[in-house]
Amino acid sequence: MHNTDSPLLPEGPFTRRQAGVVVAAYQNVTIEDDQGTHFRLVIRDHEGQLIWRAWNFEAEAGEWLNRYLLSHGIPKNTFTRD
């Protein structure tokens, strides 16, 4: 099932603030390789294996990260009904 309620990134480069909103919304998204002025946003599966990562300054970083967030993102506020 695709998640459309959680925040996404702009299609191109993104800011630390935009990344922070996404990290706060998903269990499996983190900021790594933080160099101060630039960093990588990383998506991992439930076992910790890398799904996708991109530097915040890459031309199409947000577009590709959004694709994987929609298909593999694990929202932090997931509620199931019995």
Q: What is the chain's length?
A: 82
Q: Give pLDDT, residue 59.
A: 96
pLDDT at 81: 53
Q: What is the mean pLDDT of each run of 10 residues along the chain (82 residues)?
A: 72 97 97 96 96 97 97 79 51
pLDDT of 1 reads: 42
DSSP letter string over 40-73? EEEEE-TTS-EEEEEETTSTTHHHHHHHHHHHH-
The answer to whether residues 52 and 65 touch, using CB atoms and an 8 Å cutoff, is: yes
> What pTM does this model have?
0.84
N-term to C-term CA, the chain: 17
Given this model, what pLDDT does residue 4 score?
55
The whole-number pLDDT of residue 77 equals 74
